[in-house]
Structure 1
Amino acid sequence: MSQPQPPYAAHPGQFGGLTPEEKTWGGAAHWSALVGAFVAMAFLGPLLVLLLKGSTSPYVRRQAVESLNFQLSILIYATVSAVLVLVLVGILLLAVVGVLWLVFTILGSVRTADGGEYRYPLTIRMVS
């Protein structure tokens, strides 16, 4: 008896799979915040991904919106912490916010590199 022939592989993007381009742009929504931090505007990277590629893929849009919301939330937390420096507790808060930003942004970049979903903790969901 002959063995049944295995089914043909689905094309990327077919049946709910993600194309390599979607994976790249989904990851870019997260790691672009690290690049944007060099000009002190980490939210610009996810915003650009949302504006450029958010309408082409629901996955890219979800990841860009998630990253943008987190970057804006961190901006708010850092601003409040900077004001609280006058009370001295802000120095510690700024350090904590900075470490959390770096760790969570790297986690988001790594988890989405393979096409996974990532939701940031401690995020105010402003953009939907």
Structure 2
Amino acid sequence: MTISTPTGALRVSAAEREPIVDRLQQAFAEGRLDKEELDLRLHLAMTARTRADLDAVLADLSPVPAAHRAPAPVGEPTAEQRVLAALAHVLGATTLFLGPLVMLCTRARRSPYVRRHIVEALNFQLTLLLLTVVTFGIGGIAYAVTWIVCGVAALLALVGTAFRYPFTLRLVH
């Protein structure tokens, strides 16, 4: 005899929590949540045990429009895609946000893999720019470290691995 478990009662994994966390951060960036509510909902999402618990975290938020959903990855990236992804990180280190921005406008439609890396590089450079402006130039010291971080990101892109910069505002999706 097979026992059927309702979908909402199934336990969730860390991989299932990540899109929920991304959606909460996006809702915060859109102004739908304040900082306290974001913190509370992030805590609830990270401690959720079942799908019903996760669904409750997003219950009153509108779903992500289809244009903003990340396309599902299709197989391994080709050599050209890996080189383009690495180039986005290298251009970010050398041209700040301009290189990744130009790549976003010209190369992002080629593959989801390339787009993810371009968006990561662009978001990282925009975060550094905002940090520098907000701190009246003192944040410019962080640019000394960016060469190392961008180099690591470029190497990981070359081997076909996804990379997310730490402490980065996700301004572009």
**Contact 1:50–1:60 under 8 Å retained in 2:** no
SS of 1:27 mapped into structure 2: helix
1:67 lines up with 2:121 in the alignment: yes
**Which residues of structure 2 form unaligned runs of 5+?**
1-73
SS of 2:164 mapped into structure 1: coil
Count of equivalent residues: 100
Could you list the per-position Cα deviations for residues 75-118 of structure 1 after superposition, in whole angstroms to 9, with x for gaps in the alignment? 011112225xxxxxx3xx542x1233222212111211212111
- Match of 2:172? 127
| Match runs of 1:72-111 below 5 Å | 72-82=126-136, 90=138, 93-95=139-141, 97-111=142-156
Instruction: Give distance in 2, aligned partners of 1:25 and 1:61.
Output: 9
1:49 lines up with 2:103 in the alignment: yes
**Which residues of structure 1 form unaligned runs of 5+?**
1-14, 37-41, 84-89
1:28 lines up with 2:83 in the alignment: no
Identity %: 33
Could you list the per-position Cα deviations for residues 6-59 of structure 1 after superposition, in whole angstroms to 9, with x for gaps in the alignment? xxxxxxxxx6011111011111110011231xxxxx101111111111011000
After the TM superposition, which parts of structure 1 deviate over 4 Å for at least 4 consecutive aligned residues? none
**Contact 2:89–2:121 under 8 Å retained in 1:** yes
